[in-house]
Amino acid sequence: METLLQDLRYGFRTLQKFPGFTIVAILTLVLAIGANTAIFSIVYSVMLEPLPYPQSEQLVMVWSKLKGERDRVSPGDFLDWRHETSAFQSVSAWTGASFDLSSSGAIAQSGS
């Protein structure tokens, strides 16, 4: 225990002798801890935090495949899946779309 205290005192004295190195070392630690915290917060909120739905662990996504690639489900296939499935409690559909507002106020739709 005495050796540890001596080492700590020696370290503090050394840091006081070289203030430039001390500032760089502290800034490096601050940036590294801040970046690590930011990355973990993003990963947690995107991948680890449960979805804001009741029983979200039961949600699944299904799609059709065309030529080995994921494809949109046709309305007819969706209605067949909805009426004929016994594997799911319910079946719903959604589609994504994005909109860009130009400076002239016109709306251009780009979507999937």
The rounded mean pLDDT for the chain is: 85
Q: Of 42, 15, 17, nearest to 29 (Cα)?
A: 15
More confident residue, 101 or 35: 35
**Averaged pLDDT, 92-106:** 72
Kindly report the number of other CB atoms within 10 A of residue 15's CB atom: 14
Which of residues 7 and 46 earns the better pLDDT score? 7
Share above pLDDT 70 across residues of the chain, in percent, rounded to a whole number: 89
Question: What's the whole-model pTM score?
Answer: 0.45
Please report, for the chain, the start and end positions of each structural domain, with discontinuous segments joined by +: 2-48
pLDDT the model gives residue 4: 94
